[in-house]
Amino acid sequence: MSDQYDPSNLVNLLRTLQAEETSLIFQLVADRLAHDTGSILHALAGTASLLEENPAGDQRLLVVGVRRESQRLERAIVRLLEFLRGLDAAPTRFRPADVLASLVQATQPYLHAQGVQLTLGRLGRRAVLVGRPELFMELVWKFVSECTAWADSTDARPRPEVRICWTDTAGGGHLRFHTRKVRIPDEFRMLIAKSPRCRDILLQSFPTPWLIMAALIDRFQGRLRLLRRPPADWTVTLIFKGAPPHDE
């Protein structure tokens, strides 16, 4: 029957999202590497300049060697960044409502078996975003997956509930997660509130899924708002700018 659940759809989806996640992690690490190595290269260049101002006989070859190796390292880093950033396909225009409907259809039975009730609320279908629809799907999937770990431990029968809605606005749209029996950790809210550069410094301090969510929110130029409804209900809103109109 056409409406029968096909597990292969979920398997293929998870493979796609895993590939997207791996590529994104490579890019995050590469950006951090470029930043840290760039600081070292600038320091070496400054040291070489100071030595050139008052060169001693035995320092000339040292300065030449420092500059040569610094330039070689810089070229290697540039090639690495070009390769990793080249893995990211060109952005396209897509309707978030279509992505959300596809994701829920593929993952709903699996999440139900994991004890998470995922439902789809109203979906406005006018808004268009620019980016990779696979990355948008990865952002939503990461949050929904984390809700399994965030189940309210004080509930005798913790069965997290997540309802996803999309509301069109004049300049884009709002993605809302209405959750029940979920306790969002304070550390997650702290991470999201930090600037991208601060989050980069804390790469080893937070779970990887959280860092991926934060990076993807930045990638889509989104803003996150959290509204708590005691004891363990939340409305998580992501605000996105829509795609500019097509050039005439």
Tell me the C-alpha distance between 99 and 108, whole Å: 14
Tell me the C-alpha distance between 66 and 41, whole Å: 10
Tens-digit pLDDT string for the chain (248 aa): 445 556 677 888 888 888 888 888 777 777 777 777 777 777 777 777 777 777 666 677 777 777 787 788 778 777 777 776 666 667 889 999 999 999 999 999 989 888 889 999 999 999 999 998 999 999 999 999 988 888 877 766 778 999 999 999 988 999 999 999 888 888 787 777 666 666 555 555 677 788 888 888 888 888 888 888 776 688 999 999 988 776 43
Cis before 96? omega within 30: no
Q: How many domains does the chain have?
A: 2
Rg (CA), the chain: 23
Asked if 164 and 196 sit in the same domain, the reply is yes
Asked if 130 and 201 sit in the same domain, the reply is yes
Question: Are 78 and 119 a contacting pair, CB within 8 Å?
Answer: no
Tell me the C-alpha distance between 56 and 13, whole Å: 63
State the pTM of this model: 0.76
Beta carbons within 8 Å of 111's beta carbon, 6+ residues apart: 117, 118, 144, 148
Which of 33, 64, 86 is where one domain is finished?
Answer: 86
Asked if 138 and 226 sit in the same domain, the reply is yes
Asked if 72 and 146 sit in the same domain, the reply is no
Asked if 98 and 71 sit in the same domain, the reply is no
- How confident is the model at residue 87, as a pLDDT? 60
Instruction: Read off the CATH number of the domain in which 213 is found.
Output: 3.30.565.10
| Within a domain: 2 | no
Residue-by-residue DSSP string for 161-188: EEEEEEEEETTEEEEEEEEESB---HHH
| Within a domain: 248 | no
- How confident is the model at residue 47, as a pLDDT? 75
| Within a domain: 175 | yes
Asked if 42 and 98 sit in the same domain, the reply is no
> Residue 132, class by beta-carbon neighbours within 10 Å (0-12 exposed, 13-18 middle, 19+ buried)?
buried
User: Parallel, antiparallel, or unpaired: how do β-strands 161-169 and 117-123 relate?
Assistant: parallel
- How confident is the model at residue 175, as a pLDDT? 96
| Within a domain: 185 | yes
| Within a domain: 106 | yes
- How confident is the model at residue 24, as a pLDDT? 81
Asked if 168 and 111 sit in the same domain, the reply is yes
Asked if 81 and 203 sit in the same domain, the reply is no
Tell me the C-alpha distance between 160 and 198, whole Å: 31
Asked if 15 and 46 sit in the same domain, the reply is yes
Q: List the domain range (segments joined by +) for residue 138.
A: 92-241
Which of 62, 86, 110 is where one domain is finished?
Answer: 86
Question: For residue 48, what are its two tokens?
Answer: 């070489």
Burial 47-57 (b: 16+ CB within 10 A, else e): ebeeeeeeeee
Which of 67, 86, 105 is where one domain is finished?
Answer: 86
Asked if 149 and 106 sit in the same domain, the reply is yes
Asked if 120 and 169 sit in the same domain, the reply is yes
Question: Are 160 and 179 a contacting pair, CB within 8 Å?
Answer: yes
Asked if 210 and 120 sit in the same domain, the reply is yes
| Within a domain: 120 | yes
